[in-house]
Amino acid sequence: MSEERFRFGLIGAGRMGRVHLAALAGSPEVEVAVVVEPVPAIRAELAQEGLKTLTTVDELLEEGGLDGVLIAAPSDRHLDLVETLAGAGIPILCEKPVGLGAADAIAASAAVERAGIAFQIGYWRRFVPELRALRERIEAGELGEILQISCLQWDAEPPSAQFRAHSGGIAVDMGVHEFDQTRWLTGQEVVWLTAARGGGEAADPGDPDAAVILAQLTGGAVATISLGRTFPHGDCCWLEVFGTAGYERVPFMWSDAGEAVFHAALAAQAEAFAGTVRGAPAQGAGTRDGIAALIAAELAGYALADGGRRDVTAEV
């Protein structure tokens, strides 16, 4: 390569931060130059692995020397971090969902626009080759008119109580991926939605371990989203598309093979962001995508709690 590797500062070395570190370790185009992590024990582990660590974002800003920042801190810290980093003029790749609700995403978008920086949200499905090929086929009309899209995301086991406290619940934590995927693949927006939770009387109304969302889309298609947190095959994602001229089922992340797909997409996502910062056309999800996904996910969370229907396009 003619250019040096793009230097990221990683904020947060928890579950997703560690996944990003693993995914980017072999990239010829990007590298994690420094990690901001407040927990001393984690910093010590990273230092043993040869990584430079800092305790605060202020230290990161004082030091400088980065091409961009990757935010992998808990979701409820995303808005504050975006506003701080955007104010410093640093390009940002932010893990989804850029906050816990639509108001957070809107505020983050405003901060990014004021700063005029490159900004991308971590909807990594957009960088899975099988899904990119499917999108091209849908755009070309090979499946005909899309009648239904079904997106399923099931994790191997429920998250910790600490994670739940910062996640926004299953509709936000997991559902935003499916809403973004649905919009990106079909080119249609969500008109209205309703939802039901699994687990009976014992299920937490705001954060059950199983949920189904039904949505009407602007082009006439219907979308179903299935979310769950106990699955014997591990962390898995798959989808089905029903069209008047074809049908596709794509188990793009399944069982043990899924980790390699996940890591490859995260690396491609980071490399695309680096390209955008250096002048290439944007490929990933932007601020409008983040707002749309969070509006739908937030309303889906309300629908899970009461079983009611929510109009989404009115909110957009």
List pLDDT tens digits, range 31-54.
Answer: 999 999 999 999 999 999 999 999
List pLDDT tens digits, range 214-259.
Answer: 999 999 999 999 999 999 999 999 999 999 999 999 999 999 999 9
Say if 240 falls within a structural domain: yes
Residue type, position 283, single letter: Q
Write down the pLDDT at residue 1. Answer: 44
Which residues does the chain have with pLDDT short of 70?
Answer: 1-2, 201-202, 314-316
Say if 316 falls within a structural domain: no
SS3 content of the chain, % helix, strand, coil (to 5): 45, 25, 35
CA–CA dist 238, 249 (Å, integer)? 7
Q: Are residues 28 and 134 in the same domain?
A: no
Q: Are residues 131 and 19 in the same domain?
A: no
Q: Are residues 23 and 51 in the same domain?
A: yes
Q: Which domain holds residue 194?
A: 126-254+292-311
Say if 95 falls within a structural domain: yes
Q: Are residues 302 and 156 in the same domain?
A: yes
Domain with 60 in it: what CATH number?
3.40.50.720
Burial tier of 179 (Cβ tally within 10 Å: 0-12, 13-18, 19+): buried
Say if 1 falls within a structural domain: no
Domain with 192 in it: what CATH number?
3.30.360.10
Q: Are residues 146 and 60 in the same domain?
A: no
3-state secondary structure of 16: helix
Say if 183 falls within a structural domain: yes
Burial tier of 279 (Cβ tally within 10 Å: 0-12, 13-18, 19+): exposed
Count of domains in the chain? 2
